[in-house]
Chain A
Amino acid sequence: MIQAKKLGHLVLNVRDAGKSKEFYTRTLGLKVAHEDTERGTVFLSFGKEHHDLALFQLATGEPPNAAQPGLHHMAWQLGSFEELQAAYRELKAMGVSVEATITSC
């Protein structure tokens, strides 16, 4: 039986690797592990893994519509509710448009 341990990393097909790198380092605290501006690839890490998120600049088209299968969302864990509150304030200050805030369970 196949038994994976955990989700190791995600790779996103992006339209502008520089812009996405800027976004994910600011909103998640990821650091650049490796970047190749010619190939349009950025590998981001929290400082331990080779990458937790990578960005491949391969996309030129429109985002998938709601009827298309694929990524619905990805979720990144913070350490506490206080950190979530602070992150919320920082996102607002950055001008990020927060879509929803939900309490689950």
Chain B
Amino acid sequence: MLNVRDAAKSKDFYTRTLGLQVAHEDTERGTVFLSFGKEHHDLALFQMARGEPPNAAQPGLHHMAWQLGSFEELQAAYRELKAMGVSVEATIEHNVTRSVYFPDPDGNRVELYCDMVEDGFETMRTVGPRRDPLDLGEER
């Protein structure tokens, strides 16, 4: 659940970048409940913020990560984000995921990723996290 400055803008952003659908919206109260179509909500937006995003020294959300089904989907999503004009911050090859990072309208960092291993827990326990640059090609 995110505290946002502009619920409509964030709704537009999250429906387009994650494929969420509106389960319930109250424009007067500034609340939007978004779902992938099964849960009551996977993400909700409360329009209660009017200040600046937290700075890096403030505790809180570092980023939230949303899973895609395959590397092909990640590549396609990367192209779509670029086409939408979303400024992709980083593309990383982790040993357990391939990941694309970008900011939402309030500066929250969003990650789209696909899994790279079957048993992620075991990989983390034995190998630990790794990161390298990920080349998704076709820079536009």
Interface size on A, residues (CB 8 A): 47
A2-B77 in contact given A33-B121, A72-B3 (Cβ < 8 Å)? yes
Q: Taking the nearest CB of chain B, how far is it from the CB of A33, in angstroms?
A: 4
Q: Taking the nearest CB of chain B, how far is it from the CB of A92, in angstroms?
A: 24
Q: Could you tell me if A63 and B60 are in contact, using CB atoms closer than 8 angstroms?
A: yes
Q: Could you tell me if A58 and B108 are in contact, using CB atoms closer than 8 angstroms?
A: no
- Check: B27 CB closer than 8 A to any chain A CB: no
The proximity string for A residues 64-105 relative to B, scoring 1 for CB distances below 8 Å and 0 otherwise, is: 111111111111000000000000000000000000000001
Interface size on B, residues (CB 8 A): 60
A48 vs B124: C-alpha distance when bound (angstroms): 10
Q: Could you tell me if B59 and A70 are in contact, using CB atoms closer than 8 angstroms?
A: no
Q: Could you tell me if A47 and B69 are in contact, using CB atoms closer than 8 angstroms?
A: no
A43 vs B3: C-alpha distance when bound (angstroms): 25
Q: Could you tell me if A11 and B112 are in contact, using CB atoms closer than 8 angstroms?
A: no
